[in-house]
Chains A and B, each alone.
Chain A
Amino acid sequence: MGGDLYSRRVQNIVDAINFREPEKVPVGLEILMWPFAYKGKTYQEVMHDPQLAADTYTEFLDDVSLDYLALMPGVSHPVKVYQKLGNNEYVIAKDGVGIEHLQALVKFMSPEDYELLINDFPAFRQYMFYRKYPVFKKSKEEAYAALKEAAKEFKTYFLANALINKKIHEEKQIVSLHGPESLHYFSAFNSIFDYYRGMTNALADLRRRPDVVREACKVIRDHTLSQIKAKPEDYQGKSFPLSMTVYHSECFLSPQQFDEFFFKDFKEFYGPFMEAGVKFFLKGEGSFLKTIDRYRQLPKGAMVMMLDEDDPFEVHKAIGDWATLCTGIRSDLLKYGTKQQCIDYAKKCFDTFAPGGGFMFLQNKPFLYAQDVNPENVVAVYEFANEYGKK
C-alpha cells in the first residue's frame, strides 16, 4: 500500500489516538450500502457486474475526501448466496440499495435447545448451521447443485468487494482502522442475542431463565477464550491497527448486566493486551453513557469509541480525557438539517474535542439506505471537516 499520503493519514490517526494533536484531525466515515445511491443508482442495478458495482460504490469518493473508513466498506452480505442455500433472512430493501436482516424469518433456537448448547457446543453449532441452511439436509446431489449455484453468486459478491477495497485503499489511499492482526471481542451474550435466540427472546430469557443464560454464556465464552491464540507480548507497543469490539445488546442491559455480560470478559480477555499497548475500536450502538465510566478501569487511551445516540459533549465530559472519541456529525442532521446547521454542529465538535488530541471525525450512524442522508450535506460537511481539522 505505502505512499506518502497513506503514511501521513496513519500518522495522524496514531497521533490522535495517543492524545497528541495531529497535523490534521482524521476524517472518517462508516458506510454500508448507501454509496450505491450517491448518484441515483441502486445496488440491484449493478450487482451482476463486479467492476460496475465497484465503480458505482466508490463514485462518491471523487466528491468526499476521507482519511479512514470505520469497519468494513462494501456489500455487507451475499444475499443471493444465502438464498441459493435456502436461507431468506437477508433481502435487498425496497429502495434497491440497503440490505435488510429480517429477524422474524430467522429459525432461532427454542428454549429447550439451551440444553444442547450447554452440553455439546460443537454439536449445537452444527445443529444451528443446518437450521440456517436447510439445503444441506437434502440429498448430496441436490445439496451440491445448490452449493455450486451459491458459489457462482459468491464470486460476483467477492470480486465486487475486492475491487471496492482495492479502489478505496490503494487508489484513494484511505486507511482501514483494522488489519489481519486485529483482535476481536464479541460478547457471549451477543452471540445469543444476534445469532441463537434473537433480540426479543434473548432479552426475555434474561428475565425468565437468567441462570440458563449464564450457563450458556459461560460455555460460549470458554469456547471464545480457547480460540484466542494471540499473546499480549506479541502486541507490545502496537497501537495500530485497532482491534475491534461492538455493542449490540448492551444498550438494552442494566449497568449490572453490562458488567456481567460484556465488560467482565472484555477486561479479562483483553486487558493484558491493552496493557501492552493494544487499542480497541468500539462500535457503539444506542445509548451507553451510563456505563462509560467502566473504561477507566482500562489503560488510558486503550479505547477509541464510535458514539451513537449519546450526546458527544456529555460523553466528552465523562471520558474525553481517557478515551478517543469518534464523533462530529449526526446522521439525522445530515438528512434533515441545512448545510449551515451541519457545519455549525461539526465546528462545535472540532472546537470542543480536537484540542489535545483524542478526537477523530466520524458520523454517528452508518449510511445504509438511499434516503439516509442528503448527499449535498455530506459533501459540504466533509469539505469543512477536511479544512477545519488542519493545524
Chain B
Amino acid sequence: MSERDYTVEELFAELKNDDSWESDPELRKILAEALYATLQRSVG
C-alpha cells in the first residue's frame, strides 16, 4: 500500500470531472458520490 502515489479519494475527484464516461455533469457527480458511498458501505 505504501507504494501507491494516489488516494482513492483523488481518483473519485478525478472521476467527477471526467466527461469521457458521463457527459451530464450533474448526473456524473451524483453517480460518483453514490458509487463512493456504496464501496465504503460494502466494507462494513
Q: Do A and B come from one complex?
A: yes
Interface residue ranges, A against B (CB under 8 Å): 78, 81-82, 85, 125, 127-130, 132-133, 136-137, 140, 143-144, 147-148, 150-152, 154-155, 158, 191, 194-196
Chain B interface, number of residues (Cβ within 8 angstroms): 24
- Asked if residues A133 and B44 are in contact (CB atoms below 8 Å), the reply is no
How far, in angstroms, from A152 to B5 measured CA to CA in the complex? 25
Q: Given A128-B44, A195-B44, is A151 in contact with B39 using a C-beta cutoff of 8 Å?
A: no
Q: Indicate whether A129 sits within 8 Å of B43 (C-beta atoms), given known contacts A81-B35, A148-B18, A158-B34.
A: yes
The secondary structure that dominates the A interface is: helix
Other than the known A132-B43, A158-B35, what 13 A-B pairs have Cβ atoms closer than 8 Å? Answer: A81-B38, A82-B42, A125-B44, A133-B39, A136-B8, A137-B1, A140-B4, A140-B5, A147-B11, A148-B15, A151-B35, A152-B21, A194-B44
Looking at the complex, which one of B11, B22, B39 makes contact with A144 (CB distance below 8 Å)?
A: B11
Bound: A147/B10 CA distance, A: 12
A13 → chain B, closest Cβ, in Å? 27
Q: Which residues of B contact A137 (CB under 8 A)?
A: 1, 4
Indicate if the CB atoms of A128 and B43 lie closer than 8 Å. Answer: yes
Q: How many inter-chain residue pairs (CB < 8 Å) link A and B?
A: 63
Q: How far is the CB of B15 from chain A (nearest CB, A)?
A: 6
- Which residues of B1-37 have CB atoms within 8 Å of chain A's CB atoms? 1, 4-6, 8, 11-12, 14-15, 18, 20-22, 27, 31-32, 34-35
Most B CB within 10 A of own CB, among A82, A125, A154, A194? A154
Given A140-B11, A148-B20, A151-B21, the answer on whether A196 and B44 have CB atoms closer than 8 Å is yes
B18: A residues at CB distance < 8 A: 148
Residues of B within 8 A of A125 (CB): 43-44
What distance in Å separates the Cβ of B17 from its nearest Cβ neighbour in chain A? 12
Q: Chain B residues near A155: list those with CB within 8 A.
A: 22, 27, 31
Chain A residues, Cβ within 8 Å of B4:
136-137, 140
Expressed in whole angstroms, the minimum distance between the Cβ of A162 and any Cβ of chain B is 10
Measured in the bound complex, the distance between the Cα atoms of B42 and A82 in whole Å is 10
Chain A residues, Cβ within 8 Å of B43: 125, 128-129, 132, 195
Residues of A within 8 A of B6 (CB): 140, 143
Q: Say which residue of A81, A85, A148 sits within 8 Å of B21 (CB atoms).
A: A148
Q: Is B8 a contact of A151 with CB atoms below 8 Å?
A: no
Q: Which residue from B1, B27, B34, B35 sits with its C-beta under 8 Å from A150?
A: B35
Complex Cα spacing A136 to B40, Å: 13
Contact flag A143-B1 (CB < 8 Å), given A78-B38, A129-B43, A155-B22 = no
The answer to whether A154 touches B34 (Cβ under 8 A) is: yes
Chain B residue, CB-CB nearest to A153: B35
